[in-house]
């Protein structure tokens, strides 16, 4: 049989009970280091994606500013969709 998992119960409302499981987990250093490496790689990927999105947004903002300088306005159809 496995470890017994301690439980607590709370009333959420008149129709609902909350079961709180208190779980212990032994984690090896190897697992922690692997998780750290994965998270660092994901962070770097997201930072790269953020730079791309930021560049695209800056370009869009420049185009909007130029359109305003040229007196371009939303058409009535486009304004309704927005």
Residues 65-81: tens digit of each pLDDT: 999 999 998 887 766 66
Its domain, for residue 34, covers: 7-73
In a domain, residue 21? The reply is yes
Asked if residue 20 lies in contact with residue 8, where contact means CB atoms within 8 angstroms, the answer is: yes
What tens digit of pLDDT does each residue of 7-65 get? 889 999 988 899 888 877 888 999 999 999 999 999 999 999 999 999 999 999 999 99
User: For position 66, what pLDDT does the model report?
Assistant: 95
Q: Is the pTM of this model over 0.85?
A: no
What is each CA distance from 6 to 9, 17, 26, 27, 54, in whole angstroms? 10, 16, 16, 19, 47
- State how far the Cα of 5 lies from the Cα of 57, in Å rounded to an integer: 50
50 inside domain: yes
How many domains is the chain partitioned into structurally? 1
Calculate the CA 4 to chain-centre distance.
34
Q: pLDDT at position 77, please?
A: 74
In the structure, what pLDDT confidence band is assigned to residue 3 with cuts at 50, 70 and 90?
low
Q: Is residue 13 part of a domain?
A: yes
Q: Please indicate, yes or no, if residue 51 is contained in any of the structural domains.
A: yes
């Amino acid at each position: 049989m496995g470890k017994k998992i301690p439980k607590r119960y709370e009333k959420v409302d008149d129709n609902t009970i909350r079961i709180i499981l208190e779980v212990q987990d032994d984690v090896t250093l190897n697992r922690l280091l692997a998780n750290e490496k994965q998270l660092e790689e994901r962070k770097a990927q997201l930072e790269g994606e953020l730079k791309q999105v930021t560049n695209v947004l800056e370009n869009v903002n420049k185009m909007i500013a130029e359109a305003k300088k040229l007196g371009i306005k939303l058409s009535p159809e486009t304004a309704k969709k927005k």
